């Protein structure tokens, strides 16, 4: 937890589809946890790419979409 009493989830799993659209799949507490999810999704053999990114402490996540099509 951080100072505000909330759980910190600084690791993102990002999905990019075959059209180049990017979406956040989920947020995770550790890189290992996020990588495990990304690897599991990637092993399904679809055309999508999955990778892990860390959220910067001073800004929001990278320009991935938030699932509803809106850019961050």
What's the mean pLDDT when you consider all of the chain?
Answer: 81
CA 70 to chain centre: 15
Identify the pLDDT of residue 53.
97
Reported as a single tens digit per residue, the pLDDT across 40-69 is: 998 987 778 999 999 986 555 555 555 544
- Chain position carrying tokens 């850019």: 71
Average pLDDT over residues 9-31: 95
pTM, whole model, 2 decimals?
0.68
- Chain position carrying tokens 């990637």: 42
């Amino acid at each position: 937890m951080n100072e505000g009493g909330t759980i910190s989830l600084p690791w993102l799993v990002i999905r990019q589809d075959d059209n180049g659209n990017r979406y956040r799949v989920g947020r995770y507490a550790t890189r290992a946890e996020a990588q495990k999810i990304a690897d599991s999704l990637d092993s399904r053999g679809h055309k999508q790419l999955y990778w892990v990114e860390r959220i910067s402490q001073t800004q929001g996540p990278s320009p991935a979409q938030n699932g509803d099509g809106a850019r961050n």
